[in-house]
Amino acid sequence: MSQRKYFGTDGVRGEVGGATINPEFALRLGYAAGQVLARQHNPIRGRPTVVIGKDTRISGYMLESALEAGLSAAGVDVLLAGPVPTPAVAYLTRALRLAAGVVISASHNPYQDNGIKFFSAQGMKLPDEVEEQIEAAIDQPLGCVGSEALGRARRIDDASGRYIEFCKSTFPNELDLSGMKIVVDAAHGAAYQIAPHVFRELGAEVFPIGCQPDGFNINEGVGALHPEAMAAEVQKRGAHIGIALDGDADRLQMVDQVGRLYNGDELLYAIVRDRLTQGEVAGVVGTLMTNFGFEKRMKAMGIGFDRAKVGDRYVLESMLQKGWLYGGESSGHLLCLDCHTTGDGIIAALQVLTAVRRSGESLAEAVGDLKMYPQEMVNVPLQPGTQWETHPGLSEAKARVERELNGRGRVLIRASGTEPKLRLMVEAEDMQLAQDGVRELVAVDLTKR
């Protein structure tokens, strides 16, 4: 894959008014994407059509209008879904047999940021070669098809309703949520009009928070980034479960009735354990950060396990390569490919609730036989040009710690992707063992070989 100028691992993202997240760039991006999609489109199917969804950031209006104009200038029809979760755009793209889907969101970032990413007609990330073609076209002169070929734009009035029904369809017909009190925190984001309805229509008594967006408060003190707000509301309401989503609703955090927080590894375990009662589970994909206890538990259950690089994109790639259905990150990005083509916070929550309703257990009981290993992590400064991967002192220290652990934990050393630091992590059966291991790694002087 060639070096990208604009696209990162999750589309284009940045601060509003910066080099890429501005109206001129969005116009060019829309036109470039429209040209590429139009070339690939089979004319027998009529004019190519794209759906645009967004979260609740104030800048979404501006970027939506610019993208719409660029796509129309390239001869592409546009459907405007309004504020909907990122996975809703993936669903609508597939359900309506569209050429592509576009999401305007910066996920868990503050309102000052925004981003633009694309889904293919299959509801998955665009192939690399298509992204590369779009990149190449962005810097070309802006043009416009003839008036008779301009794209039209219209709003989808029932986008939210369609997606609510789709989410509910992933919950077993023989089960319901009657008698359950659930706090639903939408982070003042894209799911604010959707998430409460999904759980309420399945029978739960819902207490919504984070459902009053004003364009500026997305992710602010609520949602998956700040689960303490949800936990406090659960205690206040005497609820059974709390569900917190992030700004674009592709990430999940949950708490139980006593306010205990469950991370992505634990929630994924609850789902996999339930699926195993219904049939075979071939394997599960985690990341480099997935808890060692999860890996050991999968092995004990006879389930394959693989670690991908950090990022839900890499988890999905590994799942597709192996033909496995379940995967996720500790942060709460969970994928169930038997339900959806992409990570979906609402649907993941429904699968966890399926597990507890089907078994009659509490969430704590559903994950009770998963022993999470204590983790100690330290970030150390990394000088530019330091070849830490081949540093003999670090390699020797890592080998010593692994011998001391003797299968009772693991060592992970990786460079930060955002700052000049090296992350040194040890997981072990007890915290003292993990701390001793990290101390041994930190003692290595990376400036000397």
Residues annotated as part of the active site: 107
> What's the Cα-to-Cα distance from 215 to each of 58, 66, 84, 225, 432, rounded to whole Å?
4, 18, 14, 18, 46
Secondary element (H or E) of residue 421? strand 421-428
Q: Alpha-carbon distance 29 to 139, whole Å?
A: 9
The answer to whether 276 and 260 are in contact (CB under 8 A) is: no
Strand ranges in 267-385 using DSSP code E only, listed in sequence order: 283-287, 304-308, 326-328, 334-336, 375-381
The answer to whether 286 and 306 are in contact (CB under 8 A) is: yes
The answer to whether 135 and 5 are in contact (CB under 8 A) is: yes
Q: What angle (nearest 5°) sits at the alpha carbon of residue 126, between those of residues 124 and 128?
A: 135
Question: How, if at all, do strands 304-308 and 283-287 pair?
Answer: parallel
User: 27: which 2 tokens?
Assistant: 């116009």
User: 28: which 2 tokens?
Assistant: 């060019």
Which sign, positive or negative, has the C-alpha torsion 119, 31, 106, 192?
Answer: negative
Strand ranges in 151-303 using DSSP code E only, listed in sequence order: 153-155, 181-185, 205-209, 241-245, 252-256, 261-262, 283-287
The answer to whether 195 and 224 are in contact (CB under 8 A) is: no
Identify the three-state secondary structure at position 45. helix
Distance of CA 269 to the CA centre of its chain: 17
Rounded to 5 degrees, φ, ψ at 295 are -60, -45
Distance of CA 389 to the CA centre of its chain: 29
User: 42: which 2 tokens?
Assistant: 């089979």
